């Protein structure tokens, strides 16, 4: 990206004029990859935008997008922006009630869905959505009602092509400035309803302009994209930043096909979350170092130059292990409310164990209580229809992140924990759960962990073992893996786990040590609301789910 642009639409048009027939999107269809050029992405987005205008969409309106990742998703996003409207991007696994809340609260006039399953979530609560007027579907769907106008994606584009609204679209885009709302993204609330984060064109564009110079992307780079576009992390990096750098984005089928996609695409860049890297590391950790290093390089392919991680803390042992294999993972930090990137490690400034230096144009400071504050053009416009919540987190221009951290003498930022997750034991010991949980998951036996102990005389935990490692341990102990109601019950195995945890806890003070634990027989699941869209553990939800069983550990 060269020169300044006025909004996200201007960014895309500028790059399309420069890139022309270069491949913008690559996706798998019926077993083979298909390519869509920058020129064709822009043409389809313009047709869809015109189609939306014929449906009565005006600048400032909201349109929901409820879909898994597919090549139409970023094109639909571009189309909505070109009308002057804002999209409400919803995670595909959302429940019916969650979809109803986000569409209703945002007063969306229309929704774009992927398939019948997603359409049915809206249809189930249609009576509660009086503002909703139309539905557009990527795949064919059946609507047993005439209350909504319905168009297929192809039908919307054909309708737009016939309308000839190029001048109208140009006028709408010209009226968009940095303060114009681009998107509403609802944060996953641990209690109560989620809040709609208002991100403007200026918010997102500032993040792109800051990241392009330090991402060190090259013209022939290919990004393998699999994180949900409904989340701001992938939306910024895999969509707007990739556009700003003029590179090719290849869409993975899903997390289940990611290893096959890596082999087929042979990307130069991959953005991911810690959970993905942890699973890869667990699969090779038991190998000797030369074999492990070779295996890691085989997994990511011969052309990989850059791995990025965000969305949650990256365990240090995973980062170090990848580095020994010659695969640097550049960890960054941000939130939905900050568009999202606040700090980022990169090829010319990297310090493992930190989340990097603040990106250009972004200010960061640590409050007296240790909370990380940030100020700059990346900070959201506020929470939709919630000025009270906005005033709580933005004070004198500084956004209060809710995270606790430190800045070292060279300016590198490190994250300790979420401020609201810190707790105090009955002995008065302040505990940062993330530190203890990272100690547990550094052991290959434990995939995930959540600790508990606010106001208690000692700390307990819920742990989810790595199934392969647990089977290996059970075999060495000559015992069966028995379970009841989702908890492992095999006594020899539980005794072994207790001893492993006791060894891990030797590096922390006695009040910080996990003394007892619940051992699950399967990992935390996205489908059970135990993980966020970026596979981050929802600690409060898990504690609430297992609190009765945790409480019983204190009575034993």
Q: Do 175 and 242 lie in a common domain?
A: no
Residue 243 lies in a domain: yes
- Residue 476 maps to which CATH number? 3.30.300.30
Residue 167: predicted pLDDT:
97
Instruction: Go through 91-110 and write b for each residue having 16 or more CB atoms within 10 A of its CB, e for each that does not.
Output: bbebeeebbbbbbebbebbb
Q: Do 436 and 291 lie in a common domain?
A: no
Q: Do 191 and 215 lie in a common domain?
A: no
Q: Do 95 and 235 lie in a common domain?
A: no
Other CB atoms within a 10 A radius of the CB of residue 158 amount to: 14
| Nearest C-alpha neighbor of 305 from the set 368, 382, 384, 223 | 223
| Nearest C-alpha neighbor of 469 from the set 278, 222, 210 | 278
Give 140-145 contacts, CB < 8 A, sequence gap 24+: 140/116, 141/113, 141/115, 141/116, 142/116, 143/119
Last residue of a domain, one of 187, 205, 223: 205
Residue 556: predicted pLDDT:
59
Residue 189: predicted pLDDT:
55
Residue 385 lies in a domain: no
| Nearest C-alpha neighbor of 357 from the set 330, 317, 382, 326 | 330
Q: Strands, DSSP E only, in 210-345?
A: 222-225, 248-251, 269-272, 306-309, 329-334, 341-344
Residue 536: predicted pLDDT:
82
Q: Do 164 and 199 lie in a common domain?
A: yes
Tell me the CA end-to-end span of the chain in Å, nearest whole number. 63
Kindly give the parts of the chain with pLDDT less than 50.
Answer: 190
Containing domain of residue 117, as a range? 8-205
Report how many domains make up the chain: 3
Q: Do 217 and 197 lie in a common domain?
A: no
Q: Determine the Cα angle at 422 with ends 419 and 425, to 5°.
A: 160
- Residue 210 maps to which CATH number? 3.40.50.12780
Q: Do 242 and 221 lie in a common domain?
A: yes
Residue 389 lies in a domain: no
- Residue 134 maps to which CATH number? 3.40.50.980
Q: Do 170 and 295 lie in a common domain?
A: no
Residue 526: predicted pLDDT:
82
The first and second tokens of residue 168, run together, are 């109208």
**Mean pLDDT rounded to a whole number for the chain:** 94
Last residue of a domain, one of 205, 234, 268: 205
Structural contact between residues 78 and 190, judged by C-beta atoms closer than 8 angstroms: no
- Compute the distance between CA of residue 360 and CA of residue 453 in angstroms, rounded to an integer: 40
Last residue of a domain, one of 174, 205, 236: 205
Residue 395 lies in a domain: no
């Amino acid at each position: 990206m060269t020169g300044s642009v006025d909004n996200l639409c201007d960014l895309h048009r500028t790059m399309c004029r420069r890139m022309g027939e270069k491949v913008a999107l690559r996706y798998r269809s019926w077993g083979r990859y298909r390519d869509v050029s920058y020129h064709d992405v822009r043409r389809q987005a313009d047709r869809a935008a015109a189609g939306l205008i014929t449906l009565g969409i005006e600048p400032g309106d909201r349109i929901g997008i409820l879909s898994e990742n597919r090549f139409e998703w970023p094109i639909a996003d571009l189309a909505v922006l070109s009308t002057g409207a804002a999209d409400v991007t919803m995670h595909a696994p959302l429940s019916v009630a969650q979809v109803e809340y986000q569409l209703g609260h945002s007063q969306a006039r229309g929704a774009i869905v992927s398939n019948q399953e997603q359409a049915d979530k809206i249809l189930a609560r249609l009576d509660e959505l009086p503002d909703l007027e139309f539905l557009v579907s990527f795949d064919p769907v059946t609507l047993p009602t005439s209350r909504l106008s319905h168009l297929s994606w192809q039908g919307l584009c054909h309708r737009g092509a016939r309308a000839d609204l190029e001048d109208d679209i140009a006028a709408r885009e010209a009226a968009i400035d940095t303060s114009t709302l681009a998107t509403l993204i609802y944060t996953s609330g641990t209690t109560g309803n989620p809040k709609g984060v208002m991100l403007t064109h200026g918010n997102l564009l500032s993040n792109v302009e800051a990241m392009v110079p330090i991402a060190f992307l090259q013209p022939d780079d290919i990004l393998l994209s699999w994180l949900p576009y409904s989340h701001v992390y992938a939306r910024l990096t895999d969509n707007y930043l990739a556009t700003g750098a003029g590179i090719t984005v290849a869409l993975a089928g899903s997390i289940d096909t990611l290893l096959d996609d890596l082999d087929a695409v042979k990307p130069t860049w991959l953005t991911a979350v810690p959970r993905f890297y942890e699973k890869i590391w667990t699969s090779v950790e038991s190998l000797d170092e030369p074999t492990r290093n070779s295996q890691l390089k085989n997994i990511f392919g011969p052309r990989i130059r850059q791995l990025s991680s965000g969305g949650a803390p990256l365990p240090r042992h995973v980062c170090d292990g990848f580095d020994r294999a010659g695969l640097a993972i550049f960890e960054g930090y941000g939130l939905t409310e900050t568009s999202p990137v606040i700090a980022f490690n990169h090829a010319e400034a990297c310090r493992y164990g930190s989340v990097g230096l603040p990106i250009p144009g972004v200010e960061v400071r640590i409050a007296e209580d240790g909370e990380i504050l940030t100020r700059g053009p990346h900070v959201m416009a506020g929470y939709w229809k919630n000025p009270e919540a906005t005033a709580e987190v933005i004070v004198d221009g500084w956004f209060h992140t809710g995270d606790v951290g430190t800045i070292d003498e060279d300016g590198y930022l490190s994250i300790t924990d979420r401020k609201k997750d810190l707790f105090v034991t009955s002995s008065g010991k302040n505990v940062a759960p993330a530190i203890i949980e990272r100690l547990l998951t550094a052991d290959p036996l434990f995939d995930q962990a959540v600790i508990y102990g606010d106001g208690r005389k000692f700390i307990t935990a819920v742990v989810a073992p790595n199934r392969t490692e647990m089977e290996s341990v059970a075999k060495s102990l000559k015992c069966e893996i028995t379970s009841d109601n989702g908890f492992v019950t095999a006594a020899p195995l539980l005794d072994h786990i207790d001893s492993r945890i006791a060894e891990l806890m030797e590096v922390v003070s006695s009040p910080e040590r996990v003394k007892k634990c619940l051992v699950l027989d399967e990992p935390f699941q996205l489908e059970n609301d135990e993980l966020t869209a970026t596979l981050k553990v929802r600690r409060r939800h898990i504690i609430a789910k297992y609190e009765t069983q945790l409480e019983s550990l204190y009575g034993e």
